Structure 1
Amino acid sequence: MILVTGATGTIGTEVVRILAERGERVRAMTRNPQGSTLPAEVVQGDFDDRASLDGAVSGADAVFLLDAPGPWIERHDRAMLDAARSHGVGRVVKLSAIGTGEDTEVRAGGWHLPGERALRAGEADWTILRPSSFAANTLHWAPMIRAGRPVANLTGDGAQGVVDPRDVAEVAVAALTAPDHAGRTYTLTGPELLSAPDQVATLEEVLGRPIGIVDVPPDVAKEQMIAAGRDPEFAEGAMRGQRFIAEGGNARLTGDVAAVLGRPARTYATWARDHRAAFE
């Protein structure tokens, strides 16, 4: 039995789907299981409710540990790892973030570092996945593009190894189902470095029409996030991350996706063509 936390998100949904298609027993944890259509046993679970974690992890042989980004990750990771240890879970795969531990002052990866350390110190076999920026992050441009407005750019010409979430999910499934990946930390990127203008140019080619892009100062974006109800600490961390990208701090590529999956990582253009309808 494999427990997938964050099972209704971008990566979690895909992990559940792939595991189910391969005939694995899957249990999907979500805070709101009502109406779920996931192809798995769906259970209610909240990282801040230990009883629900005990119920979710009971009988599981492996856990895919995934949480929404934010300063709460350390608390949530420790809670789930403690529950997993109590129930004798033998394998844990944690979704972390690229650059974790390298510079916690400017990276959201700082939120993941305590959980990574706790995982390595435990008794379960572990694998850590550190993906770069998801191709699917550009879906938040879709309303602007559909409305004919230019895309808001917070990272200038800073380039990243944009990765397809489907590749991340496939690597997670490999780590959950095979012993070869125990004790490994994978940095997952796409095959090319792309800036926001590069991604917009790809979308323009896919859609066959101009889109446009406009730079937004980080302080303005931070104020907008807070006004929209986001936690100020989260907004500040997000803006530090945007500045770091703009300065070229995340311009890195690895071959880890290809090494694990035995094929090249998908390009952003492939992802864009497959998700064209979202922007039309």
Structure 2
Amino acid sequence: MIVIAGATGTVGREATRLLTDRATPFRALSRTPTAGRTHADPADPASLGQALTSASALLLIGPGTPDLPAYDQAFLAAAERAGVTRVVKLSSIPVGPVARWHRAGEEATRTFPEWTLLRPSLFASNSLQWAPLVAAGEPIPNPTGDARLGVVDPRDLAEVAVAALLDDHHGRTYTLTGPELLSAPEQVAVLAEVLGRPLTTVDAPLAEYAEVLRDAAIRTDDIASVLGRPARDYATWARECYPRP
């Protein structure tokens, strides 16, 4: 039995869809009671124990918040008690504060008999937060200047995660990016072309990004190596997923 922690998130929802399509048994977890999801609260060890009963593999997807280390620790301790042998952890590219929040969970994941670490770059879906501004025709704030990141389609992340759950990727750490490096203004330019309307940005620099962005311009072919096809580019994601005003 495969268990998916964080099944209501962007990658988790897609992973459940892929496993459903493959007719692979799985149990989707949620911290809040949700239809079709098993309740599993890291603050309630008993709920974790029940959620992980008979599980052989765990896809660990946590929140992007400072309580992530405690979340990971609770799930991985429960997985160890339940006899889970395979853990696939969705982590982050190794720069900035979010990567530091993942560090303890990565170390604990490596203690399982079979483990895989997935370190994605910036999600393409993060640009959905611009949708109200796009609809209103207002400028999109750009806090990152001309820094360019390997924007990645979350659907590719879910496909790699499912491959790691079902096949042999033990001991591998994958850095998962899109096929190109894009700045925020370049993403907005792609959206403008896809939507067929002019879009603009306005600089809104944030000092806390400066250290992170120096090392975040990472592009790899790890998605292609796992899936046997190129990673989807940002334009493909935008054409298929960005809401039309």
Bin of the TM-score, shorter chain as denominator length: over 0.9
* Alignment partner, residue 155 of structure 2: 166
Code of the residue aligned with 1:200 in structure 2: it is V
Q: Secondary structure at the match of 1:218?
A: coil
Distance 1:107 1:252 in 2: 17
Distance 1:46 1:60 in 2: 17
Distance 1:171 1:123 in 2: 19
Which residues of 2 match residues 111-190 of structure 1 at below 5 A? 111-120=101-110, 122-179=111-168, 181-190=169-178
Query: What is the alpha-carbon root mean square deviation over aligned residues?
Result: 1.3
* Alignment partner, residue 198 of structure 2: 210
Q: Percent identity?
A: 52
Q: Which of residues 55, 58, 69 in structure 1 aligns to 2:50?
A: 55
Distance 1:118 1:29 in 2: 20
What is the deviation of 1:124?
Answer: 2.9
* Alignment partner, residue 233 of structure 2: 267
Which residues of 2 match residues 217-232 of structure 1 at below 5 A? 217-218=205-206
Q: Secondary structure at the match of 2:188?
A: helix
Code of the residue aligned with 2:148 in structure 1: it is A
What is the deviation of 1:261?
Answer: 0.2
Q: Secondary structure at the match of 1:199?
A: helix
Code of the residue aligned with 2:218 in structure 1: it is R
Contact 1:244-1:250 at 8 Å conserved across structures: no
Matched positions, count: 245
Q: Does 1:87 align with 2:76?
A: no
Distance 1:56 1:194 in 2: 40
Code of the residue aligned with 1:44 in structure 2: it is H
Contact 1:5-1:65 at 8 Å conserved across structures: yes
* Alignment partner, residue 185 of structure 2: 197
Q: Does 1:3 align with 2:14?
A: no
Code of the residue aligned with 1:217 in structure 2: it is P
Q: Deviations over 1:82-128 (max 9, x none)?
A: 111101011000000001xxx5xx331000001111111x2331000
Q: Secondary structure at the match of 1:214?
A: strand
Distance 2:133 2:211 in 1: 24
Distance 1:55 1:244 in 2: 42
What is the deviation of 1:279?
Answer: 4.1
Where structure 2 has 5 or more consecutive residues not aligned to the other structure, the ranges are none
Q: Deviations over 1:206-241 (max 9, x none)?
A: 01111110111326xxxxxxxxxxxxxxxxxxxx3x
Code of the residue aligned with 2:104 in structure 1: it is P
Code of the residue aligned with 1:191 in structure 2: it is P
Contact 2:32-2:41 at 8 Å conserved across structures: no
Contact 1:159-1:248 at 8 Å conserved across structures: no
Q: Secondary structure at the match of 1:112?
A: helix
What is the deviation of 1:33?
Answer: 3.2
Code of the residue aligned with 1:8 in structure 2: it is T
Code of the residue aligned with 2:24 in structure 1: it is E
Q: Secondary structure at the match of 2:3?
A: strand
What is the deviation of 1:251?
Answer: 0.8
Distance 1:130 1:82 in 2: 21
Where structure 1 has 5 or more consecutive residues not aligned to the other structure, the ranges are 37-41, 220-239
Code of the residue aligned with 2:175 in structure 1: it is T
Contact 2:87-2:112 at 8 Å conserved across structures: no
Distance 1:183 1:72 in 2: 26
Q: Deviations over 1:35-67 (max 9, x none)?
A: 44xxxxx20011121111101111111000011
Distance 1:63 1:174 in 2: 13
Q: Does 1:65 align with 2:60?
A: yes
Q: Does 1:256 align with 2:222?
A: yes
* Alignment partner, residue 24 of structure 2: 24
Contact 2:114-2:170 at 8 Å conserved across structures: yes
Q: Secondary structure at the match of 1:273?
A: helix
